[in-house]
Amino acid sequence: MTLLSSIRLMGSYNQWMNARLYEAAGKLPISVVNEDKKAFFGSILGTLNHIMVGDILWLKRFAMYPSYHQALELVRQLDTPTALTQILYEDLALLAGMRTKLDSAIVTWTNELTEQDLETDLTYANTKGIVSTRTFGLLIVHFFNHQTHHRGQVTTLLHQEGIDVGITDLLALIPIQ
């Protein structure tokens, strides 16, 4: 499997897992979703917002890539988050609606990518203004890894509330040969 195929698989996995997480979180009273669980981003809602903040920050960087992928037009229109802890949406349903739109754009974008895109470098500034240049394809791998890491935190918080998200493994989407 090529890096491009892996990235496309991760786009699908991201969309699938986010749908499952939001469905599971929607089973809880909003007071529980907002309750500070002493997690890194506080609550379930805080962690879901952080995932979106990270996604938007990275996708805005990717949207400036010279290939100018049309699928990221939605991201170009969004305000740039100002903090990693920013609550973009206090309402879970509104956050879920934007998550669905963003995930659809991500899947479309991964299908627009080419092997040549992945091999080039991307220069960007992080949230502290530090400029860095890295291989575009590996930055995309980091982008998906970040989501997976924090979704693991959310599944733990949901499990503590008695909500079973079910299978979360990427293996569920890897085609059987």
Are 17 and 106 contacting, i.e. CB atoms less than 8 angstroms apart? Answer: no
Q: What is the pLDDT of residues 130-149, one digit of tens each?
A: 999 999 999 999 999 999 99
Radius of gyration, alpha carbons of the chain: 16
Q: What is the pLDDT of residues 2-21, one digit of tens each?
A: 999 999 999 999 999 999 99
Q: Is 48 helix (H, G, I), strand (E, B) or coil?
A: helix
Q: What is the pLDDT of residues 39-59, one digit of tens each?
A: 999 999 999 999 999 999 999
Pick the closest to residue 12 from 111, 142, 82, 101 (CA basis): 111
Q: What whole-number distance in Å separates Cα of residue 30 and Cα of residue 25? A: 9
Helices (H), 26-129: 30-34, 44-63, 73-77, 92-112, 115-119
Q: What whole-number distance in Å separates Cα of residue 116 and Cα of residue 104? A: 23
